[in-house]
Structure 1
Amino acid sequence: MNEKQDDTLAGIEARIRYRFGNAELLQEALTHRTYVNEAGGKDNQRLEFFGDAVLDFLLSDLLLKRFPESREGELTKMRAALVDEVSLARIAAELELGASLRLGRGEEKGGGRQKRSLLADAFEALLAALYLDGGIEAARRVVHELFEPLLESQELLCGRDAKTDLQERARTLRRELPRYQLKDATGPDHDRRFTVEVYLGDELMGEGVGRTKKEAEQDAARAATVLLKGEQ
């Protein structure tokens, strides 16, 4: 690593308040496959896979303790809202992971540092690296510090999802129901990205992206809801 890379990684460590014993794990978490295709080394896909499981476990633990009276269905909805691509990308942006990503030249030119999918993946990989380097308690502390502020969201506490919110607003304001349409599906089977459009009548109201069609529909519904709020 050069001096600039050292400073970049040190900045991430400062923001999560953790110093890696094995800095190579942190560097691996921030390495996209397009960089490896050009320069060799390890990409972050294996860490992303593990980090997804670590995050689910730690958020489930957090939600059980925070909402002891909630039923399984409510907890599932809350966890889904916390781990969707939009939420994870927002947290990754707050940690400034985009500036630290190692990308191939094509991905760099294509705006990869701002792509929600890459940011969300990098955050999950970072969490896996943190767990492998510092153990479960180090990972638990970071998850609690990053996600507890999100638990104050009224939409989250009510177990509501974006599609439900959009449907109720659309029925009230337009007397129509949303219609979702799959626009595109890209990427390999283990890393699919779905793009979904949502319409009211013939009017395109929003577009969303996610790792599943359901996640993309939620993202599209959030975009459409912003438009409808402007009509109130």
Structure 2
Amino acid sequence: MIGDHILVLPGGGYEDLAAHEGEPVQKWLERAGVAASVCPYPVNSRHPLPLEAIRAEIRRVREAGAERIGLMGFSAGGHAAASAALAPGARPDERVDAVVLGYPVVSMELETHAGSRRALLGDEPADNLRAQTSVDRMVTPQAPPFFIWHTAPDDAVPVEHSYRLASALARAGVNHEFHVFAEGGHGLGIRDVPLGAVVWRELCERWLGTRGWLPREV
């Protein structure tokens, strides 16, 4: 048995996987006391291929003995993580138990982030496809708990994305924690984080600890 496990999904606009949002995050989680690995979901691939690949990795980790599986995603990786957690049609062994999102792409109906939308859905996706792939529209009362953080000055993926998801979680009565920091831009990961936002890791560790994901509450 390997106990609990968190899959890390880097950002990169569905065109690349940002290295600083992958292995460094994995190592931080492991130092905190939870097993983790980077999930190399396919990029430059149209929907639903990334979703299917993430669900396959969830099944693989569960078959290896994970009792609970969490997802931690950043930017477009946040959209991928939230999709895997919320999209309908998941098998019982593909469901996850917690989701952590940093400055996530949430809505494909907003004009931003156009690069992620283009890479995932094509140049001119139909309105119904944009709606179907907007994770704020996927929330149900059965969703797992979420921890979300964003920065107010983010001009690549505006904080409106996270507000939409947090509002949907609140309406559905889903347990969640949501932080917006006054400083910082996009793509911060765990490096070069401004003073105001650097506490996201401490807050996240506390959130995970209170749910039994860490060896002790931090």
Do they superpose with TM above 0.5? Answer: no
Name the structure with the higher helix share: 1
Range into which the TM-score falls when normalised by the shorter chain? under 0.3
Work out which of the two has the higher radius of gyration on C-alpha atoms and give 1 or 2: 1
TM-score (norm 1): 0.25
Instruction: Point out the structure with the larger strand share.
Output: 2
